[in-house]
Structure 1
Amino acid sequence: MLRWLWPFVKPYRRQLVFALLALVMTALLTLSLGQGVRLMMDQGFVVGSQQGLQQSIAVFAVLVLFMSLGAFLRFYWVSWLGERVVADIRQHLYQHLLTLPPSFFEDNLAGEIQSRVTTDTTLLQTVIGSSLSFAIRNALMFVGALVLMLYTNLKLSLMALLAVPLLVLPVIWLGRRVRSLSRDSQDQVAKVGAWAGESLQHIKVVQAFGRESVVSAQFSDAAEGAFQVALRRIRQRALLIFLVLLLLMGSVAWMLYVGGSDVIAGQLSGGELAAFVFYALMVAMSLAAVTEVYGEVQRAAGAADRIRELMAAHADIQSPPVQDADDQPPITPAAANDGANTAPAPLLVLNNVGFAYPSRPALPALNRVQLSIQSGERIAIVGPSGAGKSTLLDLLLRFRDPQQGSVQLHGRDLRDWPLAQLRQHFALVPQQPVLFSASVRDNLKFARPDASEAELLAAAKAAHAHDFIEQLPDGYDAFLGEQGVKLSGGQKQRLAIARAILCDADILLLDEATSALDADSEYWVQQALDQLMRQRTSIVIAHRLATVRTADRIVVLDQGQVVAMGSHEQLLQQSPLYQRLAQLQFAHH
C-alpha cells in the first residue's frame, strides 16, 4: 500500500519532511521524560533536596512544553498531508472513471463505484492523516524506549525481550486475516449502499407494486451480511488487542517484581527502577498502540486494493497518440465542391461495419453495414427492437469500436480522431433525457459553459421551453431535483433539445426522442426538433414512423443488417418489413 501511495505523496515531500521531523521530535521528547522522572526520584525525593526537586520539575516542564509543541506540529502536518493526498487520489480516480467507456458502467454497479470513491478513500484518509503517523511515532517510541531500557538495566531488559516473539507472531498472523476480512467488509457495505440507492431511486415503482416490505427485507439481509463480515473482522482485532495487552502487562508485572526485589536488595536505585518502569510501560503502550493501529492499516490496505483495482480498469476506447500538426491528415469540409459536376464528399461513411457484444459474440449487433451520409442530410433509422439502431449511435460517438470495417468522419477514421475533438461534432438527444441535480441554467450550460445569456434564451425559445421555464418558481435558476424529477417528461425532453441547440454541433443524433411522450408533448418536442435539425446533419432513430416521414432517407435495419433504404413512399413499395411496420402503426387511419 505504501508503494502505491508514494506517487501521490511525492509532490508534497517538504510537508512530509516537516511531519516526520515533528514526529521524531515528539517521540524523542516523550522518551526523555523518563530521565526527568529519574532525576525527580534520585535528586529530589530520595535525597530530600527541595532545590533538586525544583530543578528536576523545571526540566520536566520544559520537556513537556516542547513535546506539546511537537505534538501540535505533528498533528497539523500529518493531517494536512492526509487530506491533501486523499483529495488527489479522489480526483485522480474520478478523472480515470471519466475516461472509461459506458460499457464499463454497464458491467459495474454505480453504488459500488461510488463506495470506492467515497468510503474507501475516507478510510485511506484516516490512516494517512492520523493512524499511520500514530503508528510510526509509537514504533519510534518502542525502539527508543527499548534502547533506553537496555541502557538503564540490562538484566530486566533481556527478560522483557523474551516476550517479543510471543507478541510479533500473533500481530502478523492476525493482521493478515484482518486485511482480508476488511476487504470483504467493504465489499458488503458497498453492495448495501448500491441496493439502497437503486431502490430509493426507483421508489415510485417500489411503492406502486406495494413491495416496500420485500425491498426492506432484501436490504436487511444485505445489511446483516455486512454486519456478520464486520463482526468477524472485529473479533480478530479484539483477539489481537487482548493477546498483546495480556503479554505486555504480564511482562511489566514480572519486571516490577524482579526490579523491586533488586531495589530492596540495594542493587538498583529507586530512580533507575522508576525510569525503567516508565520505559517498560512506554514499550508496552507503544506496542499495544501499534497493534491496534495495525488493524486500521490493514483495513485501509483492503480499501486501497479496491481503489487500485478500479484505477487499473483499462479503457479500450482511447484517443490516438498525440501527433505533430504536420503529421495529422487534413480535414476537408464534407460539403466542399470543386466544380459543378463534382459530387460533395460524404460527411459520414460506415464502411462494411461489423460489431458484436462481448456477452454474445456469435450474434452480431451490426453486420456488414454500408452507409454514406452527406452534410445537411436527414437520415432516419428504423427497425424492430434489437436491430442494431442504438449500437450504430454508440459507434458514431465512439463509445465502442467496430470489430470489422471502419467509420469515417470527414474522410478520417474515427480511431484517428482525439476523442474530445471527435465528440464536439455531435449533439445527442437520448431517449431518456439526462438532467443533473442543478438549476435550469446549469443544465443548459452543460453543453457550452461559455454561452451567453442571449444564446441561452435563444436556445430555450427554439426548443419551445422558454415559456414553461419562466413559469417555474425561480425561472432559469429553478432547481430541478435529482434527474429533473420536478419536470414532466415533455419538459425534460425539451430542455435536452435546448441543450443540444446550445451545443451547436454540426451532426445531430436523436435516439427515439419522442417515443415516451403523450400527443401534446410530442407535438411541442417535434416542433423543437424541426427547429434543431435545420441546416444540420441529422441521424434519427425512431419507432414511430410518423416522425420520420419527412426524412431525406430512411434506413431499415433488421438483425444488424441494412435491408432497405429510401424515402417513405419508396419503402412502402419496396420493403416488406417497412410495409409491416407501417401497417401496424397506421392501421387505425
Structure 2
Amino acid sequence: MSNSNTANTATNNAASKPQSEARELEKGSLGALKGLAPFLKPYLRQFVMAGVALVVAASATLAIPYAFKQMIDLGFGSHAGVHSAEHVNLVFLALFAVASVLALATAARFYTVSWLGERVTADIRAAVYRHVVQQSPEFFETTQTGEVLSRITTDTTLIQSVVGSSISIALRNVLLFLGGLVMLFVTSPKLSSIIIGLLVLTVLPIMMFGRRVRKLSRDSQDRVADASAMAGEILNAMPTVQAFTHEKQETARFSASVEDAFKTAMNRIRARAMLTMLAIVLVFGTIVFVLWLGAHAVLEGSMTGGDLGQFILYASIVAGAIGALSEVMGEAQRAAGATERLLELISVKSEIQSPAQPLALPPRAANGAALSLHDVSFSYPSRPETKALAQLALEIKPGETVAVVGPSGAGKTTLFQLFLRFYDPQLGSIRLDGVDIKQLDLETLRGAIGIVPQDTVIFSADAMENIRYGRADASDEEVIQAAKLAAAHEFIERLPNGYKSFLGERGVRLSGGQRQRIAIARALLKNPPLLLLDEATSALDAESERLVQSALEAAMVGRTTIIIAHRLATVQRADRIIVMEDGKIVETGNHQSLVALGGIYANLAALQFHNVHVTH
C-alpha cells in the first residue's frame, strides 16, 4: 500500500474518532470559529446591517442612564424649581423616544442575525453533505454513518445558535461593556479605577474555569455522536437484531451509551453552573463594594445623587455585559468544538479525484467498450497486508461477454470496484477504450458503466423514480420500457398505485427478486456501453430468472458485459469465462473447455450440476 493511502486512512480514522485525546489537547479553542469565515463571507451586507442595528441599540441603551441623571439632578435635586415638572416631562418623553429607537433597532438586529444563523447553517449542512457524498468507499470503511449524521445535525445546530444569536449577543455586550466603561470614567474616575482593578482580578478564575468547560463541551458532543452512531447502526440492522433476539442487549447497549452521554453532559452543566455562579458573585461583589464607596461620596458631598444614580446604572450595564459574555463564552466554546468536528470532516480529501484536465472517451462504438487491465495489483486500505488482486492482466474486446467466477474472496467484486474507480490500484493501470481511467472525469467514467449490484439499493420513493435513478432525464415511457426488459413491469403494475407506488425504506415492500429486477431496469435505462452484473439473478426464482436472463441477453447486444456469478448456469453462454482464485486469473476459456480442463471450474460445475456437464 502506498504511503499516501496510509496517510489518508489515518486522516479518516482521525475523522471517525473525534474524541482523540491528542486532538483534544491541541484544539477546542475559539480560534476554531475562524473556520466559519468562508460561510459568512457571502453575507457581508447582512452582517453590516446587523452591525448598524447593534450599534444603534447599544447607543440607545447607554443613553438611558444619562437621562436618569438629568431627571434626578434637575428634576428632584437642589436645582429643582418651578420648571422642574416641565423638565421631568421632557426627560420622560426623551426616555420613551430612546426606548422606541431601542425597540426598532433590537427587532432589526434579531431578524437579521436569525436569518444569518439559518442561512449559514443551511449552507454548512449542504457543504458537508456535498463533501461526504464525494468520498471514496475508503472513507466509509473508517467512518460511521451515524457519526456523520451527528455532525450534520447536532453540530450545525450549535453553530446556528452561535451565528444566529450568540455572536450578536456577544458584540452587543462588548459594545455595552466598552461604552459603559467609558461613561463610568466620565462619571467618576476614582470609583471606576477601583472597580476596573477588582474586575481584572475576577477574570482570572473565570478564565481557568472556562478551559474546563471547553473540554467538557467537546466530550459531551462526542458522547452524543457515539450514541447516534450506535442507534443508526442498529436501526439499519433490525431484521438481524430481531432474528437473533438481541433486542434487550441492544437496548441495554444504547441505554448505557445514552447514560454515558448524560453523565458527560451533567459534568459540563455543573461546570457551567459553577462558572456562572463564580462570575456573578465576583463581579457583583466588586460592584457592591464600589457602590458602597460611592454612597459615602454622596454623603460627603463630592458626588451628586444624579452622578451616583448614573454610575449605578452604568455599573449595572457593565456587570450585565460581563455576565452575558461569560454565558456566551460557554456557547461559543461548544460551537468551537462543533466547528472543529465539521471542519475535520470537510478537510478529509478523497484520493479518488477527477484529474484537473480530464481526457475524453472516444466516440461510443456500436458494439460496446473495450476494457483492459495491465499488471494490476491492489490491497484494500483497511487490509494493506492482503493482496486482493495480484498482477492481473486482462483484455476484454468491445461487445464481448465475459463471466468471472471463483470462490468467495477471489477478487471478483474487487474488479468491479476498480472498474468504477471506487479505489485505485497500487500498481498497474486500467483502460477503457484505450484511455487510462485515472485520466477520465469520474462522471464520464461512471456514466459509461451500468451496474446491477449483488445487494440492491432501493430508495424511499416510488417505483418510477427508483428506476429513473438510472437516468434522471428519462421519460415515463422509457422507464416503463426498461421495466419490461427487466421483467419488472408486471409486478409493478400489480402494486396498489402501479409505478407511483411507494416501495418503502430500502424496498421493504418488495421481495428480493423484485428488488433485483428494479436494479436491472435501472441499469438498462442508463444504456451504458459497459454493463457489470454482480450476481444479477442471484435472488430470482426459476421463472423470474428465465425472464430476466432473456432480457439481459437482449440488453447485452451492442455493449460489453462482465458477469460475476456463483451459479454457473447463468454464465455458460458467455464468450469467455475467467476463473479467479486469490486475486489471480487461474483459468480462462468457455464452459466446455474449462470442464474438460478438470480444474477449479470443473469442480465447481461438478458440484452445481451433480457431475452432469451441461453442453450447448
- Is the TM value for this pair above 0.5? yes
**Residues 422-476 of structure 1: per-residue CA shift (max 9 Å, x gap):** 1111011111111111121221222212111211111111111112112222221
Alignment of 1:394-405 (within 5 A): 394-405=417-428
CA distance in 1, matches of 2:58, 2:548: 70
CA distance in 1, matches of 2:231, 2:53: 44
TM-score (norm 2): 0.91
2:488 to 438, 448, 465: 465
**Residues 159-182 of structure 1: per-residue CA shift (max 9 Å, x gap):** 211222233223332223222222
The 3 A distance-change label for structure 1 pair 55 and 329 is closer
1:576 to 599, 603, 615: 599
Indicate the SS of the match to 1:162.
helix
Indicate the SS of the match to 1:350.
strand
Give, as a single letter, the amino acid of the residue that structure 2 aligns with 1:435: I
**Residues 253-290 of structure 1: per-residue CA shift (max 9 Å, x gap):** 21222112222222221111111111111111110010
2:58 to 3, 24, 27: 27
CA distance in 1, matches of 2:586, 2:147: 42
CA distance in 2, matches of 1:170, 1:479: 60
Give, as a single letter, the amino acid of the residue that structure 2 aligns with 1:488: S
Alignment of 1:113-124 (within 5 A): 113-124=148-159
Corresponding position of 1:233: 268
CA distance in 2, matches of 1:43, 1:469: 88
Indicate the SS of the match to 2:428.
strand
CA distance in 2, matches of 1:256, 1:179: 34
1:365, distance to aligned residue in structure 2 (A): 0.6
The 3 A distance-change label for structure 1 pair 575 and 475 is same
Indicate the SS of the match to 2:133.
helix
Query: Aligned Cα RMSD in Å?
Result: 1.8
1:527, distance to aligned residue in structure 2 (A): 3.9
In 1, are the aligned partners of 2:369 and 2:559 still within 8 Å (CA)? no
CA distance in 2, matches of 1:134, 1:225: 32
1:19, distance to aligned residue in structure 2 (A): 0.9
Q: Say yes or no: does 1:9 pair with 2:32.
A: no
Indicate the SS of the match to 1:357.
coil
**Residues 189-245 of structure 1: per-residue CA shift (max 9 Å, x gap):** 111111112212222222222211111110011111111211221122111111100
Indicate the SS of the match to 1:276.
helix
In 2, are the aligned partners of 1:29 and 1:63 still within 8 Å (CA)? yes
1:17, distance to aligned residue in structure 2 (A): 0.7
Q: Say yes or no: does 1:417 pair with 2:437.
A: no
CA distance in 2, matches of 1:169, 1:529: 75
In 2, are the aligned partners of 1:432 and 1:513 still within 8 Å (CA)? no
Q: Say yes or no: does 1:154 pair with 2:179.
A: no
The 3 A distance-change label for structure 1 pair 144 and 517 is same
By relative contact order (CA 8 Å, sep 6+), the higher-ranking structure is 2
1:81, distance to aligned residue in structure 2 (A): 1.4
**Residues 61-116 of structure 1: per-residue CA shift (max 9 Å, x gap):** 00000011110111111111122122111121111112210121121100101111
1:484 to 502, 507, 518: 507
Identity across matched positions, percent: 49
**Residues 299-337 of structure 1: per-residue CA shift (max 9 Å, x gap):** 0000001001101111101111126xxxx577265569x
CA distance in 2, matches of 1:152, 1:431: 80
Unaligned runs of 5+ residues in structure 2 are 1-31
Q: Say yes or no: does 1:565 pair with 2:583.
A: no
The 3 A distance-change label for structure 1 pair 330 and 527 is closer
Q: How many residues align?
A: 577
Give, as a single letter, the amino acid of the residue that structure 2 aligns with 1:9: L
Corresponding position of 1:288: 323
TM-score (norm 1): 0.95
CA distance in 2, matches of 1:317, 1:297: 35
In 1, are the aligned partners of 2:512 and 2:540 still within 8 Å (CA)? yes
**Residues 111-156 of structure 1: per-residue CA shift (max 9 Å, x gap):** 1011111111111111100011111111111111111111111122
Indicate the SS of the match to 2:528.
coil
CA distance in 2, matches of 1:527, 1:297: 63
Corresponding position of 2:356: 321
CA distance in 1, matches of 2:398, 2:461: 35
Alignment of 1:258-337 (within 5 A): 258-322=293-357, 328=359, 331=362, 333=364
CA distance in 1, matches of 2:465, 2:424: 32
In 1, are the aligned partners of 2:364 and 2:529 still within 8 Å (CA)? no
Corresponding position of 1:81: 116
Which deviates the most, 408-417 or 467-476? 467-476
Corresponding position of 1:211: 246
CA distance in 2, matches of 1:63, 1:411: 77
Q: Say yes or no: does 1:38 pair with 2:73.
A: no
In 1, are the aligned partners of 2:451 and 2:532 still within 8 Å (CA)? yes
2:259 to 201, 224, 236: 224
Corresponding position of 2:405: 382
CA distance in 2, matches of 1:182, 1:146: 31
The 3 A distance-change label for structure 1 pair 76 and 163 is same
CA distance in 2, matches of 1:526, 1:442: 24
